[in-house]
Structure 1
């Protein structure tokens, strides 16, 4: 018997009442969180891997085991793709999902710090994927969601074509609302197709759950 995914349960009804206040506060301030040493080392390793690359750079944030990163790299053979996840347990499983292509890298790092380092060094993205992050569905945990954290400002600054997926439609709707607060137009649609990008997406579909996405062009380099 397959291990089916549980549906999202939440005590929140509709867009969070504090979303606009929280998003505006983060957009108008700078994060003071110290950068972790292990992420600075991972970032340096990623920059050494990139070398003098001047072409398209794609980021797969919260990449988990990196199946999505490999899929993205295969779909964009003329780009360099970096998958980032904080869990060593997940990134160390990537060998099961690896692809026969040399245009991508999987690293373990704190995403919040990694994105800040990219911004501080003036990097810009061609595309940015955020596939099935933890939605933190409890109303009290709003600020743990990416669009309601200081990281949202860095996501916007990095630019590129941006795509977020989730099996919780409200998460996607709130992400779209946060983008709107930042004066960025976005589109919310149901994910269509037969080929899942991640193990999570596969598990949700096998459980009969729909998944949703928000897409936006943050800016072009």
Structure 2
């Protein structure tokens, strides 16, 4: 499929999910007890050693796919260490490096389950200046609301990580739901259209080439 033929989101949802508030409130009040997977613990320990030794800003690029966004974010923030995380080794293997440091920034790509990685990052007191969630899987079917990050049990840990959180999607309902979930944590924010001359992820490039729009929220969670 060419970039100009990327399909638009098809969903049986016409607006914010009717059970979103109930689901988010339940997760905010519950304790997430799922055991940490050994492979993610090992991956985190390796990355954490580099993070603890680094004195500059820390940026998270969650669901980084092939890592193009991580490389672009590193160029935009040359004084920072960018950590790109994705669960798929197949996607990450398309990138030519695991760790790269150049005059235009430095970044690390790591294969890990974010349900575990985010909890470990909170426990290790990571304090990212920015946290990017760029075009995560939208799970557009209504019955899959709990698979979306804002409808998942891990959502409170996204908030606990703090920093300037930026979410982008080509499905406006996804970002509007995320904004509503954040509002329930006391962090209201606006959803706006996002346009730029430069796409920083493969999905962003495909969506724009096919005439689709990007929707975005940015919220400062530094005080959470």
The verdict on a shared fold, with TM-score over 0.5 as the criterion, is: yes
Provide structure 1 residue ranges, at least 5 long, that are not aligned to the other structure: none
Residue 146 of structure 1 corresponds to: 149
Residue 122 of structure 1 corresponds to: 125
Residue 202 of structure 2 corresponds to: 199
Query: CA separation of 1:210/1:124 partners in 2, compared to 1, >3 Å: closer, same or farther?
Result: same
Residue 48 of structure 2 corresponds to: 47
Instruction: Describe the superposition over 1:22-80 as per-residue Cα deviations: whole angstroms up to 9, x where unpaired.
Output: 00111111211111111011101101222422331110000000110011111111111
User: Do the aligned residues in 1 keep the contact of 2:80 with 2:105 (CA within 8 Å)?
Assistant: no
User: Do the aligned residues in 1 keep the contact of 2:63 with 2:136 (CA within 8 Å)?
Assistant: yes
User: Do the aligned residues in 2 keep the contact of 1:7 with 1:209 (CA within 8 Å)?
Assistant: yes
Q: State the shift of 1:2 in Å.
A: 2.2
Residue 7 of structure 1 corresponds to: 8
Q: State the shift of 1:95 in Å.
A: 1.6
DSSP-derived class of the 1:95 partner: coil
Q: State the shift of 1:152 in Å.
A: 1.0
Q: Distance in 2 between the 1:50 and 1:138 partners?
A: 37
TM-score (norm 1): 0.95
User: Do the aligned residues in 2 keep the contact of 1:70 with 1:99 (CA within 8 Å)?
Assistant: no
Q: How does 1:1-221 map to 2 (within 5 A)?
A: 2-3=2-3, 4-95=5-96, 100=102, 101=104, 103-220=106-223
User: Do the aligned residues in 1 keep the contact of 2:170 with 2:212 (CA within 8 Å)?
Assistant: yes
Q: Distance in 2 between the 1:102 and 1:211 partners?
A: 26
Count residues in correspondence: 221
Q: State the shift of 1:220 in Å.
A: 4.6
TM-score (norm 2): 0.93
